[in-house]
Amino acid sequence: MNTSLSERPLIRPLKLGTRASPLAMAQAFEARTRLCTAHGWDETMVEIVPVTASGDKILDRPLAEIGGKALWTKELDAWLFEGEIDFAVHSMKDVETIRPEEFCIAAVLPRADVRDVLVGAASIHAIPPGARVGTSAPRRAAQMLHARSDLQIVGFRGNVATRLAKLHAGEADVTLLAAAGLQRLDETGVGTPLDEHEWLPAPAQGAIGIECLAANNDVRGWLAAIDDRPTHEAVLAERALLKALGGNCHSPIAVLTTHHETSLTLRAAIFSPDGAERVEAHETFAPGDSAGPQRLAHRLLANAPESVTVHFSGE
């Protein structure tokens, strides 16, 4: 805990903002339980305030075409600015890399399963030739096409239930979902988890972040009690890599963090969207060393062909 921040007693219920989707609500409940347990509060002292995010309203087009990851955060950002909520909970993989300086990721909860789950086939090798893969994620599409160039990618957006319903309706033959999300929704019997060393996850996958105003020392102090330092360090490193690469919602990038006693190793791969080109590298550095992710980004981009680098703005 950061003891330099305020730890004043709580005198009113705090308001926790969240997207209204079932998964986001499950994440908000987890954050509330952890916070109240850490401080000995009754759960009535944290009020969950749901909002329907723009990203949940427009499901017929890829996110990158309609505003990117900001569509998951802009309503909650406005509520934080206006004082309607005290803090907000996010899936960190859905939070844009560069955030307004007025905000602070005050806590990151212990990371859940980072793997993707394949639904509709027992393995990537077992997917029938020419099958349709439902995904709107550039990383998943590029990795799948790199492994199986015969497959077809079809756009697939929506929450877990929506995507499973689309799959069952025959809009695709297979799809991919995050294991962490399925576990938080108690859908652990769905699909086949893919080995994270063979199928690299998205940056910050499986991590829940809690954001507040940077100037609100009271809230930052309370949230510090539930911050999981190893997860926070890994998420910061992965987001620093994204920033150094100049990645955006169109950029296929996958990354896996390994913790050592006093260091982190980032293993990352960047792709051309069609999966034809893949460049991988790794870097080991001390937690908090922003130069480590920068070195990795420079190595990846230096070794990548133009068909890859055109989708990144890093140097």
pLDDT for residue 315: 60
pLDDT for residue 5: 53
Residue 60 is a catalytic residue: no
CA dihedral 146, 93, 244, 210 (to 10 degrees): -170
pLDDT for residue 63: 47
pLDDT for residue 234: 97
CB 106 within 8 A of CB 216: no
pLDDT tens for the chain, residues 1 to 315: 344 454 667 778 999 999 888 999 999 999 999 999 999 999 999 999 998 755 444 545 554 554 445 565 778 888 998 899 999 999 999 888 888 899 999 999 999 999 999 999 999 999 999 999 999 999 999 999 999 999 999 998 788 989 999 999 999 999 999 999 999 999 888 999 999 999 999 999 999 999 999 999 999 999 999 999 999 999 999 999 999 999 887 899 999 999 999 999 999 999 999 999 999 999 999 999 999 999 999 999 999 999 999 999 876
Count of CB atoms situated within 10 Å of the CB of 226: 22
Per the residue annotation, which of 56, 94, 173, 227 is the catalytic one? 94
pLDDT for residue 247: 86
